Structure 1
Amino acid sequence: MTQSVYLVLDMQNELVHEDGPAAKGPMGALLKERRTLENTQLAIERARAAGVKVGFVRVGFSDDYHECPTGSPLFGGAPKASMFKLGTWGTEIHPSLDQQPGDIQVVKHRVSPFYSTTLLAQLSAAGIRRIYCSGVSTQAVVQACVRDAHDRDFQVVVIEDACCAHSEQEHQNSIQSISRFCTVEKAATVNFAA
């Protein structure tokens, strides 16, 4: 069996909790409609049952936001909005998602979970060759993870129904775009034991 990990991408309170700021936008309704949290929890349970490592990736910045790219259309407004501040409720992983001691933990300052993080070192140390992944949003972190992992010669599997975007069209377009670089599966049927 190939050494594998299931990476849960950016499923943090500010982005997926019903009390978080993202819940007020279009993605909030889609998270419920797609049952993204429930499907993620199912995938975590099934991964653990198959002996697959689980990892949690979150975006976060220090109190002074010195890692935050001020010119970024995506992150530039974070300091003013006090978003993505490490050590706060907003950057904690959603409480319904089961974290355990020994899980891979990654903090990132850009879209890709590979950019200037410890992810590659942790995967290498664990002998990982296959990455299962899902998260929010499909058009940002999921796409970035798939493309970067592919170019680093990992086998990649996206758990589609544990992903969400700002619209169903953006989600479907993203899945169609990355399907050339990965396999696309569902939480209830993905074969973690492969």
Structure 2
Amino acid sequence: MSSDTILLVMDMLNDLVHPEGMGGKTYVPLMQERGVYDATQLAISKARAAGVMVGYVRVGFSPDYAECPSGSPVFSKAAENGVFKLGEWGTEVLEAFAPQPGDPDIIKHRVSPFYATKLEPLLRAQGIRRLVLSGVSTNGVVSAAVREGHDRDYACVLLEDCCAGATAEEHAHALSGLKRYAQVTSAHAFEF
């Protein structure tokens, strides 16, 4: 691929965005209401048609949860609830957004897609200069990706119709803070 852009599809996991996943009651209704599923499929389709790399960021822990921080307000209950366990259905990308062979798979153990992952070495090796971001949650991984991407000198584009928070207010609040660091647009308006 000769593009300097990557579309990152972040934490669109069964545990979070499948109706039968742990987040089914949290994220699914808002995603359905806002058309996030269709918009994300559109973004992936447009990126592939333009020859842009599509990368997948997934939160996950080994079966013994060795990397899971016990004091984290976000992850401390993961082991107790049996979620985010790598190798199981819950940490697979939702089938509608399924990766294709060769798509990068970035596993993270914290909110940030950069912290202790292979993301930055991949971006540097591939000559990526622009990040197009989508995923759940807007105030979690998306916010971290925008802020850290900005500070690593990447141009950041946030596809707001491909993101969701646990509530509409949470999503809107996150967006209001991110407009300073990223171009905020939609999958429908953005051209790769």
TM-score for both structures, normalised by structure 2: 0.97
Structure 1: segments with no counterpart, 5+ residues: none
Q: Write the distance in 1 (CA, Å) between the matches of 2:110 and 2:65.
A: 12
2:44 aligned with 1:33, yes or no?
A: no
2:163 aligned with 1:163, yes or no?
A: yes
Q: CA deviation at 1:2?
A: 5.9
| 1:3 matched residue in structure 2 | 4
Compared CA separation, residues 169 and 91, structure 1 to 2 (3 A): same
2:85 aligned with 1:79, yes or no?
A: no
Provide the identity percentage. 49
**1:96-141 Cα shifts (integer Å, max 9, x gaps):** 0141112111000000000000000111111100000110000100
Q: CA deviation at 1:189?
A: 1.4
Q: Write the distance in 2 (CA, Å) between the matches of 1:2 and 1:32.
A: 31
Q: CA deviation at 1:24?
A: 2.1
Q: CA deviation at 1:142?
A: 0.3
Maintained 8 Å contact 2:22/2:83 = no
1:16-55 alignment, distance < 5 Å? 16-25=17-26, 27-55=27-55
| 2:13 matched residue in structure 1 | 12
Secondary structure of the corresponding residue to residue 157 of structure 1? strand
**1:79-100 Cα shifts (integer Å, max 9, x gaps):** 1101100000000000001411
Q: Select between 1-10 and 100-109 the one with higher mean Cα deviation.
A: 1-10
| 1:65 matched residue in structure 2 | 65
**1:15-72 Cα shifts (integer Å, max 9, x gaps):** 00011111123x2210110121211110000011111110000000001100000000
Maintained 8 Å contact 1:136/1:142 = yes
1:123-134 alignment, distance < 5 Å? 123-134=123-134
Q: Write the distance in 2 (CA, Å) between the matches of 1:92 and 1:77.
A: 19
Q: Write the distance in 1 (CA, Å) between the matches of 2:188 and 2:99.
A: 20
Q: Write the distance in 2 (CA, Å) between the matches of 1:175 and 1:79.
A: 30
Maintained 8 Å contact 2:3/2:52 = no
Q: Write the distance in 1 (CA, Å) between the matches of 2:20 and 2:76.
A: 23
| 2:119 matched residue in structure 1 | 119
- Give the aligned residue type for 1:160: E
Q: Write the distance in 1 (CA, Å) between the matches of 2:147 and 2:94.
A: 25
Maintained 8 Å contact 1:41/1:98 = no
TM-score for both structures, normalised by structure 1: 0.96
Q: Write the distance in 1 (CA, Å) between the matches of 2:3 and 2:57.
A: 22
Q: How many residues get paired?
A: 191
| 1:187 matched residue in structure 2 | 187
Secondary structure of the corresponding residue to residue 164 of structure 2? coil
Structure 2: segments with no counterpart, 5+ residues: none
